Structure 1
């Protein structure tokens, strides 16, 4: 069967994606090519090229990406720290920035014997499973309200269950409700959350606006409506001295720490920046009981 040379096809795909306004056209084109060929992107240069069916499939995928369907929806996976997560319609695609918050939670959990960690608004299960993967002594719970997202999280956790690991539990429920994981109140070491925090009316990319679920995005006029309720639930879950981490938008680097500081349950409030030096997540410690 005739082989189609990879170089010109990739160059054409990059031009097409650039014209469509895709933020990372070369990376996306190469990822799609590697996906079609069934090889890692790092080995793409060793590929001889596409056969005709592969070339047609690649062209179709590039067309979808040019229409701003998320790359991860097309390949079916999203990388997150050391994991590959299944994603698709109905679940928020985890972002590289969130790996920093997950790393913070992992470091805090590793410092403790048999820690208990709760991930509120767990979505695809990215933070939940990253903590479990990198802190095997932890017992980890992920809470998710949206049924479609929960199905993706449970799918992503299935490999651990097949292997006999029962350290991860996904719970269907509103992360702000007082009865969710109420049996853990006052015992949790780390609470972490990547909640809906985008202020209503914000401009977001077509990938986000048209494909990420609205319930995972919008957080009210200032983006902090859900966070206000989550603070109450986190305060109840955490043991005295336990810690909380909350991802936020880069415009909330002052407003979210101020909100947490006003909550009487928390102290040692700090904000953290991402690799692009943008405000990214806030951390705090549950106050110890007086006396």
Structure 2
């Protein structure tokens, strides 16, 4: 067994014992980060491991075993076709959210395909790191993309990730954001906080101990932010505009019910992720 394989095997065992969900992947990702290469090249062309690099790697593995997020250790998070800077003070974008971003991108592209003379306007509420807004701007460059974030630290990360993209970023509350765009928006997209306060103990340590609580918890039933989103989307969207929002996998009925209860929406639909779990709700403004 090569030195690299031995190091990876030992690190993966440490991470497994610590309860890390993807020990082999994380062990390889951290070693590639330390060595300035890729996971695949670790095996194809194993680099030399000197004492300093091995010590740096061992320190990162220790921190990951203490459940510090992998993306905080490397400083980056991949999201669809873009790479985001992340770290303490911002919610790390999850792979599941790429599906919601993909939906928003498809909706924006559909508006463009109709030949609308006004173009397409997309608003990303609770943008966090700027992940969804950045993905939409990247894949639909014709879109006019707006994003808002309340948390000061997260807003700083969004500024960094959205610089030079053309996205118009604001620092503020989604409940009052974009009065100036009322009735003109084609797509509203949001990854709001949706964890019930009572579910504190069930949240993975990576999120509970490192993500901003403002981005995680949303009242006793986890739907406080969803109700605010419903109201704001109704104000912002043009007639026939669409809204999409991520939710917890146990909210596959309760999240759509927030929209159904108001009578303002039709085509209310819930969508599952690649594991078949309820993941995000979409609706079209009916007024």
TM-score normalised to the size of structure 2? 0.95
The aligned counterpart of 1:38 is 36
Using the size of structure 1 for normalisation, the TM-score is: 0.93
State the match for 1:144 in structure 2: 149
2:35·2:47 contact (CA, 8 Å) conserved in 1?
Answer: no
Cα distance in structure 1, aligned partners of 2:282 and 2:48: 48
Question: What residue number does 1:131 align with?
Answer: 136
Q: What's the secondary structure of 2:263's corresponding residue?
A: coil
The answer to whether the aligner puts 1:183 opposite 2:180 as a matched pair is: yes
Matched, 1:263 2:262: yes
- Runs of at least 4 residues of structure 1 off by over 3 A? none
Gaps (5+ residues) in structure 2?
113-118
- Compare 23-32 and 34-43 and name the one that shifted more: 34-43
Match of 2:17 in 1: 19
1:29 aligns with 2:34: no
2:155, 2:171 within 8 Å by CA — same for their partners in 1? yes
- Superposed CA offset, 1:203-235 (max 9, x none): 111111100110000011110011111111110
- How many positions carry a matched residue from both structures? 277
**Residues in 1 aligned to 2:230 and 2:254: alpha-carbon distance in whole angstroms:** 14
Partner of 1:244 in structure 2?
Answer: 243
Whether the aligned pair in 1 keeps the contact of 2:91 and 2:129 (CA below 8 Å) is yes
Q: Is the 8 A contact 1:5 1:48 kept in 2?
A: no
Matched-pair contact (CA < 8 Å) for 1:121–1:193: yes
Q: CA deviation at 1:195?
A: 0.1
Contact preservation (8 Å) 2:230, 2:258: no
Q: Displacement of 1:41 after TM fit?
A: 1.6
- 2:90 is matched with which residue? 91
2: CA distance, partners of 1:235 / 1:80: 28
1:60 & 1:256 partners in 2: Cα distance?
A: 42
Q: Cα offset for 1:236? A: 0.3
3-state SS of paired residue (2:198): coil
8 Å Cα contact 2:184/2:238 also seen in 1: yes
Over the aligned positions, Cα root-mean-square deviation in angstroms equals: 1.0
- Asked whether the equivalents of residues 121 and 145 of structure 1 are also in contact (C-alpha less than 8 Å), the reply is yes
Gaps of 5+ in 1: none
Counterpart of 2:203 in structure 1 is 204
Q: Distance between the aligned counterparts of 2:198 and 2:93, measured in 1?
A: 22
